[in-house]
Structure 1
């Protein structure tokens, strides 16, 4: 089976180094913010939810996946919230749209891996019964693997990926509900595979329900 290579190769190693340098400054700023919290509150938040994601190309269609894990919210009005989640992304792709010479089309594949978001946020409403907040920050994912039946080798996912996320959340009593959107910054697939390009970054919409301990 042969696939045409309609996108030029790009030096993703250089791109990743540049992104890592920028995120180093972001992480430094987040921890400086934490230093200003004189009496920081700390809450553990186990959570699970649904993610709807796909690479940013019209040949891909989003399908529902899942995520589960936990985060730690540190702070009060201003807060920082690092976390660790196991995530499964599901997508469907039309190979004909990618100019494949194979008649097969509309195949599904899954991507699973660990993700570490580090969000910084502000609580606009911060009462004991109800909280409303907004947040944003970087995320690094690692250990990604692809399951695409006979096409897993074609959609060989980058094992490490960087992203940024932004979202809104509410707490009702000790329950938490969050909705956020993620923009991938690095290639979704490996350069030595059929899609040797830098234009397939993941886009995801996530909804999680958790318990604030």
Structure 2
């Protein structure tokens, strides 16, 4: 049984290696909003830097790792005594996308593609308005987007919906996050 498992792992590993592989370092902007029951949140520009690795040709899977800074401004019109505050969150975003190259494939000069998947956000720090312990250390989401590749350059636009609340603390009602991610970078075929 152990030998069979080892052989199966080697065959699967060789299959992944035989597929087209593309390393994609990138930087970008994000705009994050929160779904609150009370108050209003407005997205402010944030940033991200990281890389992903695409495996496949026409259909591909693409795991990634990005360091992200999210920012939003929050106000509660029902509470005149409370000042508006800025919500800043930094952490690691770990997306795993499944995509399809609609026009072209990983080997062509120009490609139009669509993708979707799931992601985790591991909180590393918060801004001065909050205490990090008031928030969950991890939140999860789903996303969908599209991208264009031209030669060694790529541009992607994705929208993400959080499926978990950011905090369980009753006094912090920021709800779930929604974010628009714009990323540009380079593509290196391996």
Return the TM-score normalized by structure 1. Answer: 0.74
1:202 Cα offset (Å): 0.4
Map 1:56-135; keep pairs closer than 5 Å: 56-57=35-36, 59-94=40-75, 96-97=76-77, 99-100=78-79, 103-126=81-104, 128-135=108-115
State the SS of the aligned residue for 1:203: strand
Tell me if 1:45 matches 2:24: yes
Residue 38 and residue 83 in structure 1: after superposition, are their counterparts in 2 closer, same or farther (change >3 A)? Answer: closer
Hey, what does 2:179 align to over in structure 1? 204
Deviations 1:15-49 (A, max 9, x none): xxxxxxxxxxxxxxxxxxx9987941001100000
What is the CA deviation profile of residues 82-138 of structure 1, one whole-angstrom value per residue up to 9, with x for unaligned ones?
A: 0000111101011x33x55x7232211200110110000000111622001000011
Contact 1:145 1:157 in 2 (8 A): no
Structure 2 contact 125–132 (Cα < 8 Å) conserved: no
Extract unaligned runs of 5+ from structure 1.
1-33
Distance in 2 (CA, whole Å) between partners of 1:179 and 1:87 is: 15
**CA shift for structure 1 position 195:** 2.6
- Summarize the Cα distance change of 1:106–1:35 in structure 2 as closer, same or farther, 3 Å threshold: farther
Larger % of strand: which? 2
Structure 1 residue aligned with 2:165? 187
1:44/1:154 CA distance change after superposition, 3 Å: closer
Distance 2:133 2:34 in 1: 11
Secondary structure of 2:134's aligned partner: coil
Aligned length: 172
More divergent stretch after superposition (179-188 vs 35-44): 35-44
Residue 193 to residue 35, structure 1, CA distance change in 2 (3 Å): farther
Cα–Cα, structure 1 residues 115 and 154, in superposed 2: closer, same or farther, change >3 Å?
closer
Provide the alpha-carbon RMSD of the alignment: 2.4
Aligned counterparts of 1:120 and 1:36: Cα–Cα separation in 2: 17
Note if 1:175 corresponds to 2:157. no
Query: CA, structure 1 residues 195+154, in 2 after alignment: closer, same or farther (shift >3 Å)?
Result: farther
Q: State whether residues 121 and 136 of structure 1, in contact with CA within 8 Å, keep that contact through their aligned partners in structure 2.
A: yes
